[in-house]
Amino acid sequence: MSVSVTPADVDERDVVPELVTGLHGLLLGDKGYIRPVLREDLAHQSLTLLTPLRRNMNDYHPQWNRTVSRHRQLVETVIGHLCHWFDIEHIRARDCWHLTTRVARKVLAHTVMSYLNHLKGRPYLKFEDLLKA
């Protein structure tokens, strides 16, 4: 897994090929990543981009949509945790180094909390009463 920080005026689809250099397999994205040129570029790197279907789309294999939906729920839960528990949307930093280290610490804290749940035999992503139990 990797993270890339870009200016707000850069289209996130333009950064994807740089993030996945050297990888192969499946890549999950939301509807915003649907772009034929991006899918072709990723196919040259041995990557298959899986996204949810738009209402007017019929060109995806039905199995792909089930795969995306199943994994997407987990991804959305983790993003929700990072926003709710760690306030990752409001990080104040004056330079890229401080920004990336603060993001890394928050992601690490989420990972540690998941691991603590695992040690206690609880669901990985149930953080509400982790410290009380």
Number of domains observed in the structure of the chain:
1
- Find the radius of gyration of the CA atoms of the chain: 17
Per-residue pLDDT 10s for the chain (133 aa) are 556 677 778 888 888 888 888 888 888 777 888 888 998 889 888 888 877 777 777 765 565 667 777 777 888 889 899 999 899 989 999 998 998 899 999 999 999 999 999 999 999 888 888 767 5
Question: Are 51 and 29 contacting, i.e. CB atoms less than 8 angstroms apart?
Answer: yes
Is position 128 within any domain?
no
Q: Which residues pair with 47 in a beta bridge?
A: 25
pLDDT score of 108: 93
Is position 8 within any domain?
yes
Is position 103 within any domain?
no
In angstroms, the Cα distances linking 102 to 52, 86, 95, 112, 120 are 31, 10, 11, 15, 27
Question: Are 125 and 78 contacting, i.e. CB atoms less than 8 angstroms apart?
Answer: yes
Is position 21 within any domain?
yes
Is position 70 within any domain?
no
pLDDT score of 60: 58
Is position 20 within any domain?
yes
> Residue 30 is part of which domain span?
1-62
Is position 25 within any domain?
yes
How far is Cα of residue 43 from the mean position of the Cα atoms in its chain? 20
Is position 36 within any domain?
yes
The Cα–Cα gap between 107 and 78 comes to 10
The Cα–Cα gap between 50 and 31 comes to 9
pLDDT score of 65: 66
